[in-house]
Every structure is written in C-alpha cells, then in structure tokens.
Amino acid sequence: MPRAIDSLEPHYALIAGGIALAILYGSFYPFGFYAHHDPRGPLGVLLHSEFRNTSRDDAVANILLYIPFGFFAAYALQKQALLGAACAGFALSLFVELVQFYDHGRYQELSDLCCNTLGTLVGAAAAVMARRRVSDVYAALLLLCWFASRCYPAAPQASAIPALDLARYFVAWLAVGSMLATFFAPPYTLPLMLAVTLLARTLTAYVEPAEIAGGSAAALLWTGVLWRVRSRQKIIAILFVALIVLLALAPFHFSAVPRKFGWVPFVGFLGAPELAAIRVFFEKGFLYGGMIWLMVRAGLSIGAAAAFGAVLVFSLRLFQVYLPDRSAEITDSVLLLMLAATMKLIAMARQ
C-alpha cells in the first residue's frame, strides 16, 4: 500500500477526484432515487440492455465526458498510468450505471459503459503523450477547449449584433495566439491554427463570416505587431475581460421586471440538448479558463485572478435577471472557480 501511495501525485489526483464528483452529480441529478424492484437487479438490467441504438450525440457526449477524468487520472498515476486510468474510468462508469438502476428517469446502457471507458482511455493516452512534452498543461487544455468548441458540429445561429461577433472572434483568437506562444516561438503558428480550425469547421459545421474576418484580423495583428510587444498579455487580458462583460450583457434589451436567479449549478447544461450543451461547455471553459490564465500571465496571482473573475461573472449573471432569454444562474461562477482550482493544483504539482 505505501508504494501505491508514493506512486500517486496528490494534486492531479484531487483534480481527477473533482471531475469524478462532477460526473456523479451530472449522472444522478435531480437525484430521484427510489426502490426499484426489478428481480434482475442492477447488473442483470445492465447486461440485458446489450447494445441498443445509441445516437452519435450520446456516444460523443459520453466519450468527451470521461476524457478529462482519464487525462488527470493518468497524470496522477506515476506507474501503469494508462492501465490504471482505464480501470478507474471503467469502475466509475460501472458504478454510475449500476446506481442508475435506482434513479428515476435514468436508463442503464452497456454502450454508455463502453463509450465512457473509451473516453477515459483517450484522455489517459493524451496524458501519457503530453507528460514531459507539454510545458503548460493548463494552456494546452484551453486550446483544446477552443478547438473543440469551433469544430464540434453546430447549426448556424443568426446574431442580432454582428459587430459583437466580430469582436468576440478577434479577441478570442488573440488569446489563442498568446497561448500558442507558450509552446512555439514563431508567431506564424496562429495563422496556421486559424487555417486548420476553419478548414475543420467547413467539414463539420457552418463557418461564420465574423469568425473568418475576426480571426484573420487577429492573426494579422499578432504576427505583424503584437507578438513583439512586452505588455501584450496585459492588453489581451483587458480585452478579454471586456469581451466577457459584453457577451454577458448582450443583446442589451433589459426588462423592468427581474426573473428568478438559479442557485442550482449546471441546471442549464443538464437540461439543454446534448449537441448544444457540449459546444457551449467547451466555449465557456475556454472563456473563463482563458480569463484566469491571461490575468495570471499579466501579473496577478491565481487567487487574485480567481477572486476577481468569480465576482465579475457572478455580478454579470446576477444582472441577467433583467435580460430576457438569458440563463441567470450560478453555473458560470462555479465553473470559473473549478477552472481556477485546476490551474492552482497543476501549478502546485509542477513545483
């Protein structure tokens, strides 16, 4: 047992444990447990489910859900990381499937067990390849969130404020350029990343003209001038904070009567269609995690950046009770604090 403890990196283990708790929360909410009297029992029902027809969205969602867990579980394990993480992911998924036997409205699926285990393996394999090769794990994860949010299939949505969309992509791609600079010295990696992302998006989804224009403007500014400026991190951080404020208050049509504020975390994600929820989750992960990362790079401590970001995002969400068709809830503040805690634990693990 002492050898097993010595081979476990505690900071990454805490991150993996936190992700596991989030998975359990999402898997059982709203916790409608009851006495299920099926004589086959939870294991019998699971085995009887065989491999029913599973939609692409369900399969992709289940795989993506377990990739972060597999990634940090493998980072936490010093030996046999791939096998150990895969076993942990399988055990976690099996536990979820068996307990869902007693959760009203939930269905046990062998296909879910397989997809979850596959997602864990993908995340663990990525961790094994990234170990000792990636200098800033947190920035790499933010880049993956941005790339996934852009490439994951989504229907085009008409925007009431085209100028805001242009600013959104312009600032976001500047932040991507700053993150890429932590791994690659040449400034031309941003135009390359932009080209690859737009090409991938044409194959999976609709490419917005604002993204082409905003991303191209950001690539030109970054490669031409900004990458040489010493205070570029502060400039981009200020622009990023302003962008988050504008995105939260758009479309600026305020009502006189406030709506109810939601205090239950992640209700919006759990109630949304999986296709939309996955893309929004990746994008918000990039936005809030990116704001913390940029402020730290600009000179703030992780604690100060997290405190500022949490107060800002909570205030904006609280103000959204006056904005029709906006989700005024605590979720974004909780997500930001989770991302900040992840960054802090990664920094402590690398000390």
Percent above pLDDT 90 for the chain: 63
pLDDT band at residue 176 using 50, 70 and 90 as cut-offs = very high
pLDDT band at residue 114 using 50, 70 and 90 as cut-offs = very high
pLDDT of residue 274: 72
Distance CA 223, CA 295 (A): 22
- pLDDT of 2 > 50? The answer is no
- What is the largest distance, in Å, between two alpha-carbon atoms of the chain? 70
Long-range Cβ contact pairs of 41-50 (< 8 A, separation 24 or more): 41/101, 42/97, 42/98, 42/99, 42/101, 42/102, 42/108, 43/98, 45/101, 45/108, 46/97, 46/98, 46/101, 46/108, 46/109, 46/110, 46/113, 47/110, 49/107, 49/108, 49/109, 49/110, 49/111, 50/110
pLDDT of residue 15: 96
- pLDDT of 105 > 90? The answer is no
As given in the structure block, the two tokens for residue 10 are 């505690």
Phi, psi of 88 (to 5 degrees): -65, -40
**Which stretch of 128-142, 212-226, 230-244 has the lowest confidence by average pLDDT?**
128-142
pLDDT tens digit sequence for 249-300: 988 889 989 989 999 999 888 877 776 788 888 999 999 999 999 999 999 9
- pLDDT of 160 > 50? The answer is yes
Give me the mean pLDDT over the 109-114 stretch: 91
Give me the mean pLDDT over the 61-80 stretch: 91
pLDDT of residue 159: 58
pLDDT tens digit sequence for 48-70: 877 666 777 778 888 888 999 99
pLDDT tens digit sequence for 8-33: 899 999 999 999 999 999 999 989 99
Mean residue pLDDT of the chain comes to 89
Percent above pLDDT 70 for the chain: 94
